[in-house]
Amino acid sequence: MIPTPLHFLILTIAAWLNRHQRDRIDYLREENLILREQLGGKRIRFTDAQRIRLARKARRLGTKGLRGLDTIVAPETLLRWYRQLVARKYDGSKKRGPGRPPKFESIEALILRLAEENPGWGYTRIEGALANLGYDVSRTTIQRILRENDLEPAPSRRLPWKTFLELNWGAVAAMDFLSVEVLTWTGLIRYYVLFVIDLKTRRVRIAGITHSPDGAWVEQVTRTLTDPDHGFLAGKGYLIHDRDPLFTRAFADVLRGGGVEPMRLPPRSPNLNAHAERFVRSIKEECLSKAIPMGERHLRWLVTEYVEHYHLERNHQGIGNALIDGSPTLGTGDIRCRERLGGLLRWYYREAA
């Protein structure tokens, strides 16, 4: 084939472009060399984003192409970065996480919830309930999960405490002591306030106040509480109490004689008597911790005033943020304030028009 003037023109342009490209590369290599001299041998720290950019460019040149350049990073390092970039793209370990998949963990939590909230449900019943919710879990899997979490089969599972309280809400009361240090002429004396609380209505009755309680005193107070006509426990079926030694067998017999079954709590279980504990916290934080009881008479006045405020003028979140007794006066008159204990307890209301 005889070369034509067009061929000579193409070769001339290609040679010029090649020479021009080499000149650009030589300049960049020289500039790179000067920058490295300025660094004085210090190690350059790259960010992950910078490594990704260099690795992508290096992949196109390959090892041979990189060796012809005076690069800041060794060619092997650039290619290693690229291989790590590819591996990261297909690495699903962060999505998987350790252990079982999150979806299975949520199903396991649901199985435990169904078993705890429904003590009478067996494995097959739980399997059917899960199918209603769109989960296909075998009976064997349900059995294994319950065993791993120390839940017995349906006939042996106990009724949860919360469920028991809700089933018998109106028939359950709780009894407890609270202690108060009282300043007297002879020094500080610890007084004990025995109270009972109706779990459904949150209504409280102060059963007695004394500085020297004993079993006989508790029994006498209990007889008053179980009076069939005016006793606070009349009509109740159960009374929750802790393991205080003052709650004797004779005390339990008095309760049963009044038709109330005593329910002694297991050791170290304050949450099972949470409503009584909450009343103790309320009266101490809102009243007794801000006053200095000076004698038994003063203590009785403080407690009586607080209990009246507790029933008539204090909103309770446990019963829908409402009042225990009565309802707020929704008048259109001026806003008034009723004070108790010198302004320690306040009640705001509107005057009737």
CATH of the domain at 207: 3.30.420.10
268 lies in the same domain as 291: yes
195 lies in the same domain as 152: no
Please check the confidence at residue 112 and state whether its pLDDT lies above 70: yes
For residue 54, the enclosing domain spans: 46-87
Please check the confidence at residue 161 and state whether its pLDDT lies above 60: no
Q: Which of 103, 112, 174 is nearest to 142 (CA)?
A: 112
Q: Tell me if 41 is assigned to some domain.
A: no
264 lies in the same domain as 193: yes
pLDDT > 70 fraction of the chain, expressed in percent and rounded: 63
For the segment 109-114, the average pLDDT, to the nearest whole number, is: 84
The residue ranking higher by pLDDT, 64 or 295, is: 295
144 lies in the same domain as 204: no
Residue 41, helix vs strand vs coil? coil
280 lies in the same domain as 149: no
Binned at pLDDT 50, 70 and 90, residue 220 comes out as very high
Residue 275 CB neighbour total at 10 angstroms: 20
Binned at pLDDT 50, 70 and 90, residue 12 comes out as low
**Mean pLDDT, the chain, whole residue set:** 79
Q: Tell me if 32 is assigned to some domain.
A: no
222-250: string of b/e by CB count within 10 Å (b at 16+)?
A: beebbeeeebbbeebebbbbbeeebbeee
Q: Which of 100, 113, 52 is nearest to 78 (CA)?
A: 52
Binned at pLDDT 50, 70 and 90, residue 275 comes out as confident
CB 184, CB 299: distance < 8 Å: no
pLDDT digits (tens, 9 = 90+) for 178-216: 999 999 888 899 999 999 999 888 999 999 999 999 999
For the segment 48-74, the average pLDDT, to the nearest whole number, is: 65
Planar angle of CA 183, 185, 190, nearest 5 degrees: 40
Give the span between the Cα atoms of 190 and 210, in whole angstroms.
9
For the segment 29-39, the average pLDDT, to the nearest whole number, is: 69
Number of domains in the chain: 3
pLDDT digits (tens, 9 = 90+) for 309-338: 999 988 888 778 888 887 766 667 788 888
223 lies in the same domain as 336: yes
Please check the confidence at residue 342 and state whether its pLDDT lies above 60: yes
Please check the confidence at residue 52 and state whether its pLDDT lies above 80: no
148 lies in the same domain as 57: no
178 lies in the same domain as 315: yes
Give the span between the Cα atoms of 307 and 328, in whole angstroms.
18
123 lies in the same domain as 247: no
